[in-house]
């Protein structure tokens, strides 16, 4: 007999894990027709990576890469903000310089 593969959303996975802790794993596995390996995989991902770990296809490797990219993005945003500020200051100084030169003439 072939079972249809069902995908669960992050919210559904969280609810199932919560229900299992309240009502017992065996009851919930039967209720949702889940394999124990699936349930324990979700549970370990939740413990290891938090709620983001329950997103489809998420692994610790993916999460590590996402965090690295977020950190890099933050550094680049900071650099961009500094460059924009630098540009504004330069243009202000140039305006003042030309204003002073005009007054001297």
Could you tell me if 54 and 66 lie in one domain? no
Mean pLDDT of the chain: 88
Q: Within a domain: residue 3?
A: no
Q: Within a domain: residue 2?
A: no
Q: Within a domain: residue 48?
A: yes
Could you tell me if 13 and 26 lie in one domain? yes
pLDDT digits (tens, 9 = 90+) for 70-88: 999 999 999 999 999 999 9
Q: Within a domain: residue 1?
A: no
Four-CA torsion 79, 81, 83, 86, nearest 10 degrees: -140
Q: Which pLDDT does position 57 carry in this prediction? A: 75
pTM metric for this prediction:
0.55
pLDDT digits (tens, 9 = 90+) for 28-39: 999 999 999 999
pLDDT digits (tens, 9 = 90+) for 13-24: 999 999 999 999
Q: Which pLDDT does position 4 carry in this prediction? A: 64
Could you tell me if 39 and 76 lie in one domain? no
Could you tell me if 33 and 51 lie in one domain? yes
How far CA 48 is from CA of 32, 45, 51, 57, 60, in Å, comes to 23, 5, 9, 14, 8
Write out the two tokens for 16.
């199932």
- Indicate whether 95 pLDDT > 70: yes
In which domain, by residue range, is 37 found? 8-58
């Amino acid at each position: 007999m072939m079972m249809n593969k069902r995908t669960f959303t992050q919210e559904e996975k969280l609810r199932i894990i919560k229900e299992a802790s309240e009502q017992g794993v065996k009851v919930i596995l039967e209720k949702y027709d889940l394999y124990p390996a699936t349930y324990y995989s979700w549970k370990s991902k939740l413990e290891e990576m938090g709620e983001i770990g329950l997103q489809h296809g998420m692994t610790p490797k993916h999460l590590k890469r996402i965090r690295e990219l977020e950190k890099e993005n933050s550094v680049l945003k900071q650099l961009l903000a500094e460059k924009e500020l630098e540009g504004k200051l330069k243009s202000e100084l140039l305006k003042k310089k030309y204003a002073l030169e005009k007054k001297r003439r």
